Each structure stands twice: as structure tokens, then as C-alpha cells.
Amino acid sequence: MCYSAEVMSMKLIASVAEPTLEQALALMTSVSEVADGVELRLDALGRHPVEDPTSVLAPLVGATAKPIILTYRPREEGGYAAASLSERLRLWSKVMAWVEQRGEVRARLFYDLEMDLVEAFLHASPLERSGVLPWERVILSHHRYDAAQWEDVLALYERLRAVPARFLKLALFAHDLGDSLLIFRLLERARQEGRELVGIAMGRAGLLTRILGVAYGSAFTYGAAATGRETAPGQIPVSELRALYRIAELGRQTVVAGVIGYPIGHSLSPLVHNTGFRLLGLDFVYVPLEVATLDRFMRDFVRPETRQMPWRLRGLSVTIPHKLAVLNFLDEVGPMVRRVGAANTIVVEGERLVGYNTDVVGGTEPLAERVALEGARVAIVGAGGAARALAYGVRERGARVLLFGRRLERVRELAEAIGAKAGALTELAAHSFDVLIHATPVGMSGYPEQELIPEEALRHRPLVYDLVYNPLETPLLRRAKQMGCPVLSGVEMFLRQAAEQFRLWTGLHPPLDALRERVYTALS
């Protein structure tokens, strides 16, 4: 069957789900230059499409010259419509009757029909059917939110492929990053069978399928029309998919790097590294990977001899809470990792995984530019990977280090390892120091709000260095400024440690000034 070049080039679809006709029109117009097509969610338009769908179709179809996917999603599959199967059948009969009579637009209009709807149509008698479905413009879809095994997914796919729809769509909710593998395996199966499958793992743990899905065989993928206008869990704005992740340019040959952590939503690492790759013309992409179960991830995605993900993985950034635990999975570590006992960077060298720590240099250099560390009294709050890196870094430059934290046992363990003093967090205000380094996630965007460091600890006006970089002005930095303390944002540490990671993966130095401008613009 022959399809138009415009339809064949669809890779990025903007989902538009607005409660009013006017809002839908405005959003469709705004995404026309970014997206290859638009999904129009009729189920979001209240009862208007049910009462008279044709009254809304004419203006909406005229809002863009791009292909349009018409969708009327019921609540049981994650939509807005509280409609029975018979009501949905009646709605689609009206919609199709209108569309199929419009030769000028018919070729670029597609129908997203749920599996139960199509099966009801196929099982109806010829007298009950309104006609033959235009299979070349049908997307047969199914959305599943409960946990699924490969056998379940394969059975669903078999049901889908038994129908002669041009496109098949299966969206699963990913409860863990490992669930994304089900989608990639299914995409390969469909490719071998010559079927056009749209495969998506929904949720934060499924972001990988939204970024790499098209490169690995998905017919197209969906993005939010704008930030805050997501129509499914884990949707990424189409502007980011197009410009930041460059999904239209990615292929199986693209080299992949990423950041692993839990949670991962706060990270600006994709912005920094993908900007660097683009500016230097590298066929690399950097992806966020929300990893709850580290051993499963390292086995199925990372280790060359056991990985099931068929990607060209070059390396990983490692963030909270995996910087210490990841050491158990590495074949070799750099000297700084051995001294610090934490790794924030992995480089895949052939069959070996090599760990590095770029936090020490990245975190210490900005501070040393502000304060003479030789003999300085430096208090560090925290005992995780970042705290370890800064403790070693400032200790090497001659500072006297005091460590504080809520878990005194961990603090004492770190203090003993580097030759520092340790104390409970409640003792912090009783000491005076020249520099206070905050190295916990408290204050990070998306983290539960709480006040960790009391104002009494700032009374001597130390330089306050908050390693949290998102938001740009954390609650701690705001309070420190109000009390007359000099402050240092964690943005510089973030940028410099990222620049060293970039060099380890690519052998090139990134354009640091350009990256700094992008980060400050994003945070402000």
C-alpha cells in the first residue's frame, strides 16, 4: 500500500487535550512548527463531541495542515470519557461519516481506536456495521496500567496484530525501568514481522521509550503540546523531544549516555550534555534513567555480557542514592574513587565498566576560587557521595573538616576515613566555622520541604555553599543571604563535574560558557 511522504515522515506527535474548542485550536496552532502531527483528544472536550462531533471537527481540522490523529479515550484506558462501548461506537460512526465525505482532508486524518472497540466492530453482523473501517488510517491501541510480564505483553500484541490496522499501539505503565525492556523487545518483534508498532512505557520509569523508541523501531512517539499539558504519565514536551533530545536524528548507531538516580526528575544533566553534543556535532544522546533497583539495571542495561538493551552505551552519570552502591558493579575504578569510596561516573570501555569521581574536582574548585582553604574550618552537612567528595577535596587543600548529619554512625565512619571530626546535626549550631557546605538533597526541587540547618548555625556568617543546584536559589541560600552570609550555588559544581564527565565519554572538552548560559537560563 502507498502512503504519502508526509504521513510516512511522522515521528513526533503532539497530544492536545483541552476542555474547550478555543483552547484546543490555540494549542494545535502553536505546535504545528514543532510536531510532525497532532493527536486531538476529543474525549477532553466535555460532552460536545458526543452530542454533535461534526460541529467541532471542521475548525479543529483546519487548525493545522499536519496529519491529525482523532482520539476518544475512555476512562478505563486513561482517558477523560465516561462513555460506554455502545456510546463510543455511535460517536465514531458520526465522526467517520463526516471524515470520509471530506476528500480534501481525509488522507491526513487517522483514527485511534481501542482494541475493545475494534473487536466489537469486527464481531458485529454486516447489517450492524456502518461500513468497512479504513484500516490504512486506523491506529489500533491498548493501554495497560497494571504490572505486566513478557508473556502478557506478547499475548496482547498477538491480539493486536490479528487486526489489519496499519498501526498498532501498545502503551504499558512502567513500574520500574526494567519494564521498558518489554517495549523494546516488542518493537524488535514487530520490525521483524513488518508491522508498524507504536510502543510506549508510560511513567517516569518509561522515559527511555519516549526518547529512543523511534530510533529502535516505534512508528512514532507522543509528546506533550506544552509543559503542564501532559496527557499521559511521563510525557515529555514535544519541543524538548525535538530540540533537546533530537529524536528525529537518532538511530541505532547513536551513542548513549545517561544519568541514573531515584528520583531523577530534578536533573538538568540532559540539558547540559545534549547541548554539548549538539554544539560539537556528536551523534550522542543523554537520557534520564529513573533506577529504583540498581542490580537489575546494571545486569539488564549496562554490563556488556548480560545486557538486554541493544544500545551503544558509552557511560553514565550516577546520582542519589547510587554513588556508593554502584561500586559493587564496577570492574575498575580511578584513584579518586578508591580514596573517596564513591563514584559519580561510569565509562564503558569495551567489556569493562570503569568508575570515576568528578565531584571532587568539580565541587572543590569553585570553593577554592572564593576562599583560601588552607587552615579554614569547613563544616559539611551530609554523609553521602557528594559529602564524601567535598570532604576529601577540601581536606586535600589543607582545610580542617567537621562533619555533621542526622545519622551519626555514617558521619563518624566518613570522619574516621578522612581524619575529620564528627558530630550530630543538633550540635552544628554550637560550632563556628568559615565555610558551611550543605550536601544533602533537602531543598532540591521536588524534595519534601524541611528546614535542616538552623539559623543559629549561620550567626558567624560563614560562606554557605549549597550543593543543591535546582532551584537556583535554595531555601538555605535565601536564609543565608538574609543573614548577611556570602553564598555559593551548587550550579558551578554541577557544571564542572559534568564537563569532566563529557571529556571522559567523548575525549572532547565541552563549550562550558555556552552550557553555563543554558543552565542559568533554565533555572531562572
CA proximity to 314, closest of 350, 270, 274: 350
Q: What is the pLDDT of residue 1?
A: 43
Q: What is the pLDDT of residue 8?
A: 52
Q: What is the pLDDT of residue 25?
A: 94
Q: What is the pLDDT of residue 73?
A: 95
Which CATH code is given to the segment(s) 371-485?
Answer: 3.40.50.720
257-358+509-523 belongs to CATH 3.40.50.10860: yes
- What residues contact 335, with CB distance under 8 A and at least 6 apart? none
Q: What is the pLDDT of residue 56?
A: 84
CA atoms in the 13 A half-sphere facing the CB of 318: 30
User: Which of the residues are catalytic?
Assistant: 143, 169, 323, 359
Q: What is the pLDDT of residue 5?
A: 46
Is there a contact between 398 and 342 (Cβ–Cβ < 8 Å)? Answer: no
Which helix (H) or strand (E) element contains residue 48?
A: helix 48-51
Q: What is the pLDDT of residue 106?
A: 93
Low-confidence ranges of the chain (pLDDT < 70): 1-8, 47-51, 124-131
Is there a contact between 224 and 12 (Cβ–Cβ < 8 Å)? Answer: no
Which CATH code is given to the segment(s) 5-252?
Answer: 3.20.20.70
- How far apart (Å, rounded) are the C-alpha atoms in residues 24 and 45? 9
Q: What is the pLDDT of residue 9?
A: 74
Within a 10 A sphere around the Cβ of 95, how many other Cβ atoms? 20
The three grid cell numbers given for residue 284, joined into one nine-digit string: 550522542
Q: What is the pLDDT of residue 228?
A: 94
Strands 345-349 and 138-144: unpaired
Domain ranges of the chain: 5-252, 257-358+509-523, 371-485
Q: What is the pLDDT of residue 126?
A: 54
Q: Measure CA 379 to chain center.
A: 34
Task: Examine domains 5-252 and 257-358+509-523 and report if their fold is the same.
Answer: no
Q: What is the pLDDT of residue 300?
A: 97
CA proximity to 38, closest of 110, 103, 142, 97: 110
- What residues contact 307, with CB distance under 8 A and at least 6 apart? 299, 300, 301, 313
- How far apart (Å, rounded) are the C-alpha atoms in residues 518 and 498? 14
